[in-house]
Structure 1
Amino acid sequence: MAGTPPEGTAQWSSRFAFIMAAVGSSVGLGNLWRFSAEAGANGGGAFIMIYLACVIFIGIPVLMSEYIIGRAGNAASAIRSVGDVAERSGVSKQWSILGVTGMAASFLIVSFYCVVAAWVIIYIPKFLSGSFTGQTAQQVSDQFTEVVTTPKKVLLAFTGFAFLTSFLVARGVNKGIEFASKILMPLFFFLLFCLAMYSLATGFSTEVIVDGKTSNGSMEAIKFLFAPDFSAITPEIATAALGQAFFSIGLGSAIMITYGSYLPDSISIPKSAIIVGLTDTAVALIAGLAIFPIVFSHGLDFSAGAGIFFQTLPVALSNAPGGNFIGAGFFFLAIFAAVTSSISLLEPMVAWLVEKLNISRVKAAAGAGFVMWLLGFGSIYIAGFMDVLDGELTGAIMLPLTGLLTILFVGWRMKKSLVAEQMHGVSKGMQNFLIILVRFVAPIFVFIVLVVGIYSTYFAGKSVAEVFESNGFKRLLILIVTMITILVWTKMQNRKA
């Protein structure tokens, strides 16, 4: 018998509402710049072909596994969902540690995500007031540096965005998360499509010289994105595409387990996972069509990472006809993506607090939101703090580790009958194919993401002595001790239960 959430637990009102919320969670600021930066740095079309394969064969199975745990569990929070499913499967409830690590990762991420969203908010009036007009690339870069290094310029926008995130989560699944997603995501898709059309139209009218031949910015962008050079594929490019596919969908953060717990039985999990995974990919590709024609038309650096968003695009757009309004529109669009992502990042913690402490959602959201706000001060005031949370802790370890534990739990420890109950809506052949991916394919590649992330973050290019002396290695040891402590705590909690 499928798990049934406790009486009073909210559910998505429709599949459309769930898809909008799930896509809103996946589609964030990273889709608007990280995908383009990764594609630019790793060969364009060849990277994208591998990325698509990784989304289909790895991202969607992991996503489906998270939904399965969420709906099968008799709880709203990820921790209790995993514990319930583990108990009914006759395995150790210590598997619930994957809910702990995922929830902790999402909470750490939302603390600095609100800071990045504040940067985006600050850029909208900058465009509208013409602050970038006539500025050199260095001057625009200096403006970004000033924003990042001057806390008082960020505090108001950061506080406002953090409050909005907490307020929407406090309103609940239907009146808050679902309401925001059903309004903001269709608007997001419309604006992104319009910006892509604008970028392509202006790119086709911009002449560029490539290898001595006359072309235009849009044609070069299209060739770069969709004409893969398979001879350029290397293990490094394949690994980068694998990592992007994993992080782009928002896996390993307990969000999709929590969102899955609100899924009515009538909604097909496999179909939903496929729709969300492919929609997220489509958004990333359309974002590429919105960015790369501008990049190629102006001869800009397409591998600049976040610099594409906050430094490269302002230089190009501010000097184009109507560019200041287009730039403001682009950053306004980014706010839509940031809101739907931030509420999903805060939701796992709030859902757990409601169940654990038996308090109202308003109190849980207020408490979690306040701690999130305080933690965000670290990213504003302490140099390198955001990089530690993003690159060293969540990105390199916590997200891929949670994803690996999730796929192993569903594929090898969860009772097969419980998994089968959640797989309706697709043919038996498709069910068997997805289960094969979950059990045999996805674990190998998610493990690769974890190993490569740890190696590149803590060990690459360093001697043994340098590794042991580095602050990063010391933080890694602290994280390991913390996770062992969490494991012991989880075991003690399960014994009490």
Structure 2
Amino acid sequence: MSERKSIHGEWSSGMAFFLAATGSAIGLGNIWRFPYLAGENGGGAFILVYLACIVLIALPILIAEITLGRRGRESPLNTFRRLALDEGRSRAWAGVGFIGMLSGIIILSFYSVVAGWSLEYIWLSLRGAYQGASADRTDQLFSMLTSSPWQQMFWYTLFLALTLIIVARGVRKGLERAVWIMVPLLFVLLAVLVAYALVVGDAHAAIVYLYSVDFSRLSGHAVLLAMGHSFFTLSLGIGAMIVYGAYMPNRLSIMRAAISVAVADTVVAVLAGLAIFPLLFARHLPVAQGPKLIFASLPAAFGSLPFGFLFGAAFFALLTLAAWTSAISIIEPVVSWLVELGWSRPRSVLAVGSVVWMSSMLIDFSLNVWSGITWQGRTLFDLFNFVSSDIMLPLGGLLIALFAGWVISERSLRQELRMNRGALRLWLWVLRYVTPVGVLLIFLNALGLIRGAL
């Protein structure tokens, strides 16, 4: 194994790494996208395909990112540069790390705005703002929020400030202490909300919708959706798992840690639907995905149920925690890079936070005062999402698979992974030949180049 040490410190234990990496992986997509995709595309059939995609696409890249991070012990950009030079290859591979860090900044720009909505809805829930409200009324409440640039600015500024405070305190005192509190609390809230939804909602309809196996609704396009979500759900391609791997103690098993994170993330995604859809089906509310599901349909359900204001606040606290644990992992790669350039951590955090805040302001204004400004029919919100999620992340994931699979020597990989030769070569074969094809299909589908053929 590499004897290099990270100047930023390291996790105190395997559990600390697991909590941090799991918190990074569990995001808004687990809660507002995956359950809908599963329900609309064959339920259990979609989940089976999704699990196969996790094994063949997402997990190999997750293992590769953690391995590269622990081998290099630096920020993603410097890790790729160092490891490429170690193998006698061009330092231009550092560009892969740059792509990931840049895409993370773009993603965090609109992620912060959405997390701000969650904070606002905790407050709305506690004061009973949508108690007894119809779906049309809750839709109006959400529209009022997004149409007010200053109201949104207050909430995403608060969310960013909370994120920056954690990151400024460093690995042990900031990131690790935060995930020890936030990730267990996230699981507790999810368990409570699932139990509540199953008791007061239509559990049977939700279980049939989410988990019944119907291959007749599993189209080629649905398979591509499963592939895409399996890639995006584990925070791959943005450098988060690389920098978290850089802080991972040598004594820990990368393979075991990666599998544990993938399992925990999948469990949350599968269970999240049980916290949402029983409530919607019980009140015959529209089923959708994304913001409208969470901030319009779901409040109408909570508003008509016993103690809905309390459990509504708990749900939006869950959403905020999912966004928060992801946000600290997204910003850490760039902060670590600036620290390696000689900046102090507080100065680095302030610089990155300022860039994200200004980008978030663009997203904010694109939803109201600049909503008429579009490019090829996309607002700035849509454009930021498209460029980062549909272009930069798959491109970064493809390059990471190629770098780990073809540039890093088998000897170097074996030193970090401590796997027997047969297991290592199986993982390498999948990473070299199967995973790149899967990521390329995700990339082409996101660009709309293969949808017409399905």
Give the TM-score, by structure 2 length.
Answer: 0.94
* Paired position in structure 2 for 1:407: 401
**Deviation (angstroms), 1:42:** 2.3
| 1:315 maps onto 2:309 in alignment | no
Contact 1:38 1:303 in 2 (8 A): no
* Paired position in structure 2 for 1:389: 384
Written as runs of structure 1 = structure 2, the 5 A alignment for 1:113-128 is 113-128=111-126
* Paired position in structure 1 for 2:375: none
Contact 2:131 2:308 in 1 (8 A): no
Counterpart code for 1:23: T
Match of 1:102 among 100, 103, 112: 100
* Paired position in structure 1 for 2:350: 366
Counterpart code for 1:404: L
**Deviation (angstroms), 1:420:** 1.0
Report the 3-state secondary structure (helix = DSSP H, G, I; strand = E; otherwise coil) of the residue aligned with 1:19.
helix
* Paired position in structure 1 for 2:445: 452
* Paired position in structure 2 for 1:173: 171
Contact 1:118 1:157 in 2 (8 A): yes
Counterpart code for 2:31: L
**Deviation (angstroms), 1:165:** 0.9
Counterpart code for 1:175: K
| 1:352 maps onto 2:337 in alignment | yes
Counterpart code for 2:387: L
The answer to which of 271-280 and 124-133 deviates more is: 124-133
Counterpart code for 1:380: D
Report the 3-state secondary structure (helix = DSSP H, G, I; strand = E; otherwise coil) of the residue aligned with 1:343.
helix
Report the 3-state secondary structure (helix = DSSP H, G, I; strand = E; otherwise coil) of the residue aligned with 1:455.
coil
* Paired position in structure 1 for 2:431: 438
Counterpart code for 2:359: L
Counterpart code for 2:389: G
Written as runs of structure 1 = structure 2, the 5 A alignment for 1:407-486 is 407-424=401-418, 426=419, 428-455=421-448
**Deviation (angstroms), 1:31:** 1.3
Instruction: Sort the Cα spacing of 1:323 and 1:136 in 2 relative to 1 into closer, same or farther, 3 A.
Output: same
Contact 1:67 1:269 in 2 (8 A): yes
Contact 2:26 2:233 in 1 (8 A): yes
* Paired position in structure 1 for 2:140: 142
**Deviation (angstroms), 1:43:** 2.8
Match of 2:77 among 71, 76, 79: 79
Written as runs of structure 1 = structure 2, the 5 A alignment for 1:56-71 is 56-71=55-70
Written as runs of structure 1 = structure 2, the 5 A alignment for 1:239-278 is 239-278=224-263
* Paired position in structure 1 for 2:291: 306
Contact 1:12 1:264 in 2 (8 A): yes
**Count of paired positions:** 441
Written as runs of structure 1 = structure 2, the 5 A alignment for 1:204-243 is 217-243=202-228
Counterpart code for 1:337: A
Distance, in Å, in 2 between the alignment partners of 1:415 and 1:269 is 17
Contact 1:41 1:303 in 2 (8 A): no
Counterpart code for 1:386: F
Q: Which string of whole-angstrom CA distances, capped at 9 and with x for unpartnered residues, describes residues 199-228 of structure 1? A: 11223xxxxxxxxxxxxx211222222221
Contact 1:57 1:437 in 2 (8 A): yes
Match of 1:195 among 188, 193, 196: 193
Match of 1:293 among 268, 278, 302: 278
Counterpart code for 1:288: G
Contact 2:401 2:435 in 1 (8 A): yes
What is the percent sequence identity of the aligned residues?
Answer: 38
Distance, in Å, in 1 between the alignment partners of 2:86 and 2:314 is 50
The answer to which of 373-382 and 396-405 deviates more is: 373-382
Contact 1:35 1:244 in 2 (8 A): yes
Report the 3-state secondary structure (helix = DSSP H, G, I; strand = E; otherwise coil) of the residue aligned with 1:13.
coil
Contact 1:41 1:302 in 2 (8 A): no
**Deviation (angstroms), 1:232:** 2.2
Q: Which string of whole-angstrom CA distances, capped at 9 and with x for unpartnered residues, describes residues 318-369 of structure 1? A: 101111111111101211111111111111110111112x011111011111
* Paired position in structure 1 for 2:374: none
Distance, in Å, in 1 between the alignment partners of 2:266 and 2:82 is 32
- Give unpaired runs (5+ residues) of structure 1: 204-216, 462-497
Counterpart code for 2:406: W
For the aligned residue pairs, the C-alpha RMSD in angstroms reads: 1.6
Q: Which string of whole-angstrom CA distances, capped at 9 and with x for unpartnered residues, describes residues 133-165 of structure 1? A: 222211111110110110121122211111111
Report the 3-state secondary structure (helix = DSSP H, G, I; strand = E; otherwise coil) of the residue aligned with 1:444.
helix
The structure with more radius of gyration: 1
Distance, in Å, in 1 between the alignment partners of 2:134 and 2:200 is 21
**Deviation (angstroms), 1:3:** 5.4
**Deviation (angstroms), 1:414:** 1.1
**Deviation (angstroms), 1:381:** 1.0
Distance, in Å, in 1 between the alignment partners of 2:209 and 2:132 is 29
Written as runs of structure 1 = structure 2, the 5 A alignment for 1:33-52 is 33-52=32-51
**Deviation (angstroms), 1:302:** 2.5
Distance, in Å, in 1 between the alignment partners of 2:352 and 2:242 is 19
Distance, in Å, in 2 between the alignment partners of 1:22 and 1:201 is 32
* Paired position in structure 1 for 2:8: 9
The answer to which of 392-401 and 88-97 deviates more is: 88-97
**Deviation (angstroms), 1:237:** 0.5
Contact 1:40 1:303 in 2 (8 A): no
Report the 3-state secondary structure (helix = DSSP H, G, I; strand = E; otherwise coil) of the residue aligned with 1:11.
coil
Distance, in Å, in 2 between the alignment partners of 1:460 and 1:446 is 15
Contact 1:36 1:302 in 2 (8 A): no
Counterpart code for 1:423: L
**Deviation (angstroms), 1:131:** 1.4
* Paired position in structure 2 for 1:491: none
Contact 2:35 2:210 in 1 (8 A): no
